[in-house]
Amino acid sequence: MHSILIRAILAALLALPPAFAADTYTMADFDKVPKVDAHLHLHGASQDAYLALARRDNFRALTINVDYPDFPPLERQRRIASAAAHAHPDRIAWVASFSTQGFERPGWTEATLKDLDGALADGAVGVKVWKNIGMALRDARGRLVMVDDARLAPLFDGLAERGTMVLGHQGEPHNCWLPLARMTVNNDREYFKAHPAYHMYLHPEMPGYDQQMAARDRLLARHPRLRFTGVHMASIEWDVDRLGHWLDAHPGAYVDVAARIGQVQYQSQRRRERVRDFFIRYQDRLMYGTDLAQSDEQPDAGFASDLDTVWRRDWRYFNTADTFAVPELDSPVRGLALPRVVVDKLYRLNAEKAYPGAWQPPPAG
């Protein structure tokens, strides 16, 4: 009877869904598991050290162009990204972006879509829409332009018609609307201290957090066929329950976790199982990314070293139950120990689904 009971228990365990039955990866598995960093910015003239690291750590990359004043001009970003993707199609894919300069002029939409068509024909797998729309862009009358502005609608109509994935960064982390002392993670305090123009607590005349989110959601409601990835956890990084409601309301959308893992860790310090359950429940919608940016000022080897550190630390958080220190928080965090099936989706399968054909076999010979 005892052996029958044991067999029944084993059979029940084997019948459990994979997310519950699967074991977890370990740190020893890190370089054995194929992975994608779905949010990088590769701008350096040399990427030899990065490519060597990517091969060693078993990573592929999505490098994203952004209309950001601190980055190289968009033309140069595109040239570097395209060249890297053509030279290393098995390791690098890229996302284009566009300038909002002259958006009110007749013909701007047509010219912008023609330019983006060229980028897509050259291999770009998406188009980035940045937070300058909603936080900096103003029209000829000095009025702030939000992302759901009717003058931008033809652009999004065109992207929807093309089936292009739009990567949207609207607003900022919730911390942006708090004083520095009340922010939940160190990296937000450091960023907004260094970028006061984007620290909305200092600018009460600007749209609030909920206004930024509402504008993004109106955009999606008005363009229901638009393929969309909410980068940086769709700027709802501060509350996994609220982000889950957003994902439920937008069933075709993805999010990446780039530059927001610290906010997730802040929550998991207080309610670990709820955060863990979020990653399991929405395992088909989440993509891993770091948002690290390569520059000419930082040697390629230095960038690769920084990236290796972040990749390994994040892997430890998602795959083990270790308790360890992270720079974003002043007290240790315990890892989520996610099932392997969840990690495979977070780190690779969802990116391959969101950006089909992004990574190709290397050229013959």
Record the pTM. 0.92
44-63: buried (b, 16+ CB within 10 Å) or exposed (e) per residue?
beebebbbebbeebbbbbbb
Q: CA-CA distance, 220 to 183, in Å (whole number)? A: 29
The length of the chain in residues reads: 365
Q: How many CB atoms lie within 10 A of CB 208?
A: 12
Question: Tokens at residue 4, please?
Answer: 């029958």
d(CA 202, CA 200): 5
The pLDDT value given to residue 3: 52
Helix, coil or strand: residue 236: coil
Which pLDDT value is given to residue 363?
60
Q: What single-letter amino acid sits at 111?
A: A
Q: Judge residue 19's burial from the number of C-beta atoms within 10 Å of its C-beta, 0-12 exposed, 13-18 middle, 19 or more buried.
A: middle
Per-domain boundaries in the chain:
35-354
d(CA 261, CA 45): 29
pLDDT the model gives residue 197: 85
Pairwise CA distance, residues 22 & 16, whole Å: 9
112, HSE (Cβ side, Cα atoms, 13 Å)? 26
DSSP H or E stretch at residue 221:
helix 209-222
Q: How many helices (H) and strands (E) does the chain have?
A: 15, 10
CATH superfamily, with its number, for domain 35-354: Metal-dependent hydrolases (3.20.20.140)
CA 116, 119, 125 angle in degrees (round to 5)? 100
Q: Are 324 and 266 in contact (CB under 8 A)?
A: no
CA angle 226, 359, 127 (to 5 degrees): 30
d(CA 173, CA 238): 7
Partners of 10 in the beta sheet?
none
Copy the structure tokens of residue 291.
Answer: 């948002």
Largest CA distance in the chain: 83
Q: Which residues of the chain have pLDDT under 50?
A: 1, 5-6, 8-21
Distance CA 33, CA 345 (A): 12
Residue pair 125/160 in contact by the 8 Å Cβ criterion? no
Give 36's DSSP letter. E
Q: How far is CA 228 from CA 5, 359, 364, in A?
A: 49, 19, 34
User: Quick check: 173 and 239 in contact, CB under 8 A?
Assistant: no
Output helix, strand, coil percentages for the chain, rounded to the nearest 5.
50, 10, 40
Q: Which two tokens stand for residue 257?
A: 């976790």
